[in-house]
Structure 1
Amino acid sequence: MSAAGSIRLDNVTLGYERRPAVHHLTGVVEAGAALAVCGPNGAGKSTLLKGLAGLLAPIGGRIVWDGFSPRDIAYLPQSAEIDHAFPIDVLDFVSMGAMRRIGLFGRIGGEERARIATAIASVGLEGFEDRQIGTLSGGQMQRALFARLLVEDSPIILLDEPFGAIDAKTTDDLVTIIARWREERRTVIAILHELDLARRAFPKALLLAREPVFWGPTREALSDSRLAEANRMVEAFDRDAEDCRRDETPHAA
């Protein structure tokens, strides 16, 4: 497939209730890029991904989707944000990836059924079609989520910690799917805590600590000195935030 347009961030600040979680971020994710977003806990990584997906409006600056719209983006949130107890089987869960093409009440025809079957086979879940998602292991659930992304067939794919708490075999299989997306010139942006995997599978990285530490070649971004700097920045922000909370405590009348 041909590459979709780029994503441009112009001095972007993102946050909640006017409180910044990510600020002063400027850069371009080129069409067809594979970008790892790394940083300590509390660095604003998930907030950034929600902004890139169009789910969170910037407090300041702007995000420009060049040549596509947010509805062209496939977004995989963290596992904790997904209702694993929802009564749905694997086949219907994966089929939800077709909604962008057929609509909420559209009919799944032969072409879509073939696409869904191929996606399920690609992630190694043949024979699991009738299983309720609540019975799946963590690795099996992540495979089902990747199958849904394959059915969605979007040019831009955002992944929030896709390899958290899953086994090594599942990780390797899903990294293979990401490699296929790269060959197809899709844009892949993933939040990763697995730094060796980021260095191996993603040519570029954004090291974030509520503001950018470095955006560029992954091995440069994830050097020991820059990782230590990111930790210091987030720790300093947390201390300042605590001081602010103390200052804002209302005094008794």
Structure 2
Amino acid sequence: MRRPGGPAASQVRLFLTHLAEVGFHGSPRFHRLDAQGREVLDFLDGDVAVEPYPDWVADADLLLSIAALQRELHHASAGFELPPGMRWPTRRLPAGARGNLVCHADLCLENVVVRAGRAAAFIDFDLATPASPLFDIAVAARHWIPLRDPVDIADARADTDLAGRFRAFADAHDLAAAQREQVIGLLAEFLDQALDNTRRRATPASRRCGPTGTRTRTGGPGPGWTGTGGSWSATPAECHQATGRDWTP
């Protein structure tokens, strides 16, 4: 398959190559860039859940297989380091989520390939980043158990024992009681941060922010128009306050 790379494309390609070299079969192998600069990756055959989610997303054995494959991924990730001079793009994570193990960090339903009712592979590593494995587990649990109010679940999992599903997922990861509490705490902090980021991006200053603290505007003059270069006026400091990102050149 061919696809454009994400913000951490170069880093992710090296990571996928490492996973293939250590014998992890649950991720696509990167082969090369084509003439258009798109990534050429293995196509992984199987089923992927998309909305409206099918009933099989509630299968208990599928949930356990996701935990098992995630453990394999964490084991395969151990020891991976980028070459000197290369870094991962900065990603805002909860303080307790930081770590040195490269994790998928986005194991939503759409990013798990299922064969014969079991997790066969993870795809779309665009958000892969060094983090705590407990954070990676928290993100997966958020999506797959799912850890949310049952009234907000519009598929077969709404009729399941959500607490029991979490216990089974944690058992499959061999988590101690304190680690289970950490997973819940990390998820709560992550969701609070996501809500805060959404609110920040809804502010007028945030809507004026681009890669260097300004954003190209089309359609003529309007609020915030500088009159030069077709850009909105927003200082790096304003953008930092609005989005939580460091916009200093």
Same fold (TM over 0.5): no
Report the TM-score, using the length of structure 2 for normalisation.
0.29
> TM-score under structure 1 normalisation?
0.28
